[in-house]
Structures are given as C-alpha cells and as structure tokens.
Structure 1
Amino acid sequence: MEILTPKPVELLIGLLGFLIVFRILAKVLLPRINKVLADRSDAIEGGLKRAEHIAAEAARTLAEYQQQVTEARHEAARLRQDAVEQGTALIAEIRAEGLREREDVVAAGRDQIAAHRVLAEAELRGDVASLAMTLAGLIVGEPIEAAAGTRAVVDRFLAELDTQDAVSPLDINS
C-alpha cells in the first residue's frame, strides 16, 4: 500500500501547485468568467425588456390602428348614407322635373291638337258645304251653287250641329 500513501513532500508540492493554480484562476480567470456571465445575463434581461417594450408598443400601435379602422368604417357608413340620401333627393327632383316636363308636353300637345282640330273643322265645314251643294245639285238635277241662300242654309245647319254637340254628353275633349 505504499503506492497509495503519498509522500509528504509530494503532497506539499501538489498542494502548493494547486493553491497557485487556484489563486491564478480565482484572480484572473474567475472575474472574466463572472464578467462574461453578467454581460450575458444583462444581454438576456435587456433583450427581454426590449422585447416587452416592443410588444407594448406594438399593442398600442395595433389599438390605434383598430381605432382608425373603426373610425374609417363609421365615416364610410356616414358617407354611404349621405350618398343614398342625396341620390334619393336627386331622384325625387328629377322625377318632379320629368313630371313637369311631361305636363308641359301634354299641355302643348293638347293645344296643338285643339289648333289642328279647329283648322280641320274649318276645312271640313267648307268641304261639307261644297259637297252638300254638289249632292243637292245631283239630286235636284241642276247646279245649286247659283242659288244665293244655299250657302246660308248649310251654315245654319252646321251651327245647329255645333249646338247639339255642345249639349251632347259625349265630348271628345274629356
């Protein structure tokens, strides 16, 4: 067992060597290791703090964005409602203008029809008078145009027809 039992000189040299190496490690290497670990810890904690700060800022930015989107939607809805109201008012205005124009066109058409009717009636009266005299001449066998009172008879007959038409319940103007 002598191999396992150390000699006191070797033990002392080994112990002295260990203490020297330990002292060098404790004075030089251990502070560097502690400094690297502290820097690493600071970097990790700083990164976490920065990440929390960035996350908080991102949440705030998201809230602002959502608020702006909500406001934009409200504004769009209001603009749509305004457009619908303006469109409805415009349609009502155009419809009223169209009805006025239609009434103007109908009134102008009625006036034109009345004027044409008066002209046609006057033309027909002349034709009826001349046809009546021609027909009467054919029936009698001699021309009646020479008689002075025939024109007055035809005019009186047409005047009687006009008074009957005025009393008649069937009126073309209605």
Structure 2
Amino acid sequence: MMTQAASGIDLFIPEVYDIVWSLIILVIVAVFFYKFFMPKFNAIFDERAAKIQGNIAKAEQARKDADEAKAKYEAQLSTARVDAAKIRDDARAEASHIIADARSRAESDAAQITASAQRSIESQHQQAIVSLKGEVGALATALAGKILGAKLEDNDVQSSMIDSMIDDLGAKK
C-alpha cells in the first residue's frame, strides 16, 4: 500500500498510535521522576529552605544584637559625655578655686611685705631722727662752745642745752 504524502495541516497532526505511545512513555517517565527524583529534589529544597530560614533567623538575631550593641554604645556615649561635662565643670571650679587661693595668698603676701616695709621705714626714720639729734647736739655744743668761747665739758649741761635746742626746733615746725 502506498501512502499518500500528507499535505497542509495534516503534516502537523500525528497519528493516533503516536499520541498513545507518547502518552504512555510520558506517564512512565513522570512516575519514575516522581518516584525517584522528586524526593531528592524535595529534600534538597527543604534543606535549602531550612538554611535560608536559619540564615534569616541568624540575620534577624544579628540585627537585634547590633541594635542592642548600638543602644548600649549610645548609652555609654551619653554617660561618657555627662562624665566629661562633670569633669570639665569640676576642673573649671577647681581652677577658679586655685586662682582665688593664689590671689588671696598674693594679697596676703603683699600686705605682709607692705607692713614689713612700713615697719622698716618707721624704724629707719626713728634711727635717722636719733642720729640727727646726736649730730645736731654735737654741732650745737660745738657752736655754743665757740659762741661762749669755752668748751662745755659737763655732760649734764651739754645734754640739757641740746634738749632745749631740739625742743625749740621741734616747736618751730
């Protein structure tokens, strides 16, 4: 029997026996695939899903840990800033106290130096007065001796004369 060559759309439509045998082979391959390969694929997929879930959980835990560490760090930073401000304020207060103490000591030292200088000046003034009285007395005695033409030998007379002259000079001031 001679077969006629198919033409047109019949070229694309297979024979019924080809469709049946193709379906039988497809079902056998599908059952074989489902029976042997699908459990392995499912196990691999489940394992991958578990790993992904584990990684997601780890990432979530790492994020929580990072957030906690950040909060702890910020709290420590805040505490450190407060402590630094307190230390800075304490240092300023201590510096002010040290400056005030130094100023007080300087004023006290200046007052002592001034008082000491005042006492020294007063002492030197008294010494100068005593020295001048002695010199004025000696000059007055010498002058009186020249005026009277005689030397005054008696110390009592000399002393009373000097005292009266000094009193006269002091009264004229």
TM range (shorter): 0.7 to 0.9
User: How far apart are 1:25 and its partner, in Å?
Assistant: 0.9
The alpha-carbon distance between structure 1 residues 146 and 63, as it changes in their structure 2 partners (threshold 3 A), is: same
Give the structure with higher Rg (CA): 2
Once residues 106 and 7 of structure 1 are traced to their aligned partners in structure 2, the CA distance between those partners, rounded to angstroms, is: 136
Task: Report sequence identity in percent.
Answer: 23
Counterpart in 2 of 1:146? 152
Task: Give the superposed CA RMSD.
Answer: 2.9
One-letter identity of the residue aligned with 1:35: A
Residue by residue, what CA displacement relative to the aligned partner does 1:3-53 show, whole Å, maximum 9, x if unpaired?
754373x65554443332222211111222222222222222322222122
Counterpart in 2 of 1:38? 46
One-letter identity of the residue aligned with 1:79: I
Question: Does 2:26 match 1:18?
Answer: yes
Aligned ranges 1:1-174 → 2 under 5 Å? 1=6, 5-6=14-15, 8=17, 13-134=21-142, 140=147, 145-146=151-152, 149=157, 151-162=159-170
The alpha-carbon distance between structure 1 residues 145 and 110, as it changes in their structure 2 partners (threshold 3 A), is: farther
- For these two proteins, the number of residue pairs brought into alignment is 162
Residue by residue, what CA displacement relative to the aligned partner does 1:121-153 show, whole Å, maximum 9, x if unpaired?
111112222334445667x5x865437545533
One-letter identity of the residue aligned with 1:81: D
Once residues 28 and 144 of structure 1 are traced to their aligned partners in structure 2, the CA distance between those partners, rounded to angstroms, is: 162
User: How far apart are 1:107 and its partner, in Å?
Assistant: 1.6
Contact 1:133 1:144 in 2 (8 A): no
Residue by residue, what CA displacement relative to the aligned partner does 1:78-131 show, whole Å, maximum 9, x if unpaired?
122122222222222222222222222222222222111111211111222233
The alpha-carbon distance between structure 1 residues 135 and 17, as it changes in their structure 2 partners (threshold 3 A), is: same
Counterpart in 2 of 1:172? none
One-letter identity of the residue aligned with 2:29: V
Relative to the length of structure 2, the TM-score reads: 0.74
Greater relative CO, 1 or 2 (CA 8 Å, sep 6+)? 2
Once residues 35 and 101 of structure 2 are traced to their aligned partners in structure 1, the CA distance between those partners, rounded to angstroms, is: 97
Moved over 6 A (4+): none
Relative to the length of structure 1, the TM-score reads: 0.74
Structure 1 residue runs without a partner (length 5+):
166-174
Once residues 118 and 99 of structure 2 are traced to their aligned partners in structure 1, the CA distance between those partners, rounded to angstroms, is: 28
Aligned with 2:60: secondary structure?
Answer: helix
Contact 1:133 1:150 in 2 (8 A): yes
Once residues 85 and 104 of structure 1 are traced to their aligned partners in structure 2, the CA distance between those partners, rounded to angstroms, is: 28
